[in-house]
Amino acid sequence: MNAVPLPPERLAGWLAAYERRVAALAAALGERACRRLGVPVPPGAERPWYGARADWLGAPAPLSSFGPHANRLALLDEDALRRVLSALRLYPARGALRRIVSGAQRRLLAGAVGEQAFDTLVRLGLQAPGAGAAPPDGADALAAGGHAMLVADGALTLDVAARLVALTLQGAADARPATTGASTPFLADAALIFPEFTWLFG
Claim to verify: residue 19 and residue 100 sit in the same structural domain:
no
**Same domain for 15 and 101:** no
Q: What confidence tens digit (pLDDT) does each residue in 119-133 have?
A: 999 999 988 765 555
Query: How much is the pTM?
Result: 0.84
- What interhelical angle do 115-125 and 103-113 show, nearest 10? 110
Residues 138, 103 within the same domain: yes
Q: Are residues 73 and 53 in the same domain?
A: no
Q: Reply yes or no on whether the pLDDT at 148 is more than 50.
A: yes
Q: Are 14 and 66 in contact (CB under 8 A)?
A: yes
Query: CB–CB of 174/145 below 8 Å?
Result: yes
> What pLDDT, in 10s, does the model give residues 2-29?
456 777 787 888 888 988 988 888 888 8
pLDDT per residue as tens digits for the range 44-53: 878 888 888 8
Higher per-residue pLDDT: 47 or 138: 47
72/53 same-domain check: no
Of the candidates 168, 186, 173, the one whose C-alpha atom is nearest the C-alpha of residue 142 is 173
State how many domains the chain has.
Answer: 2
Domain that holds residue 121: 68-202
Whether 2 maps to a domain, the answer reads no
Q: Are residues 142 and 166 in the same domain?
A: yes
Helices (H), the chain: 8-37, 47-51, 53-57, 69-72, 78-90, 94-97, 103-113, 115-125, 139-152, 159-168, 183-193, 198-201
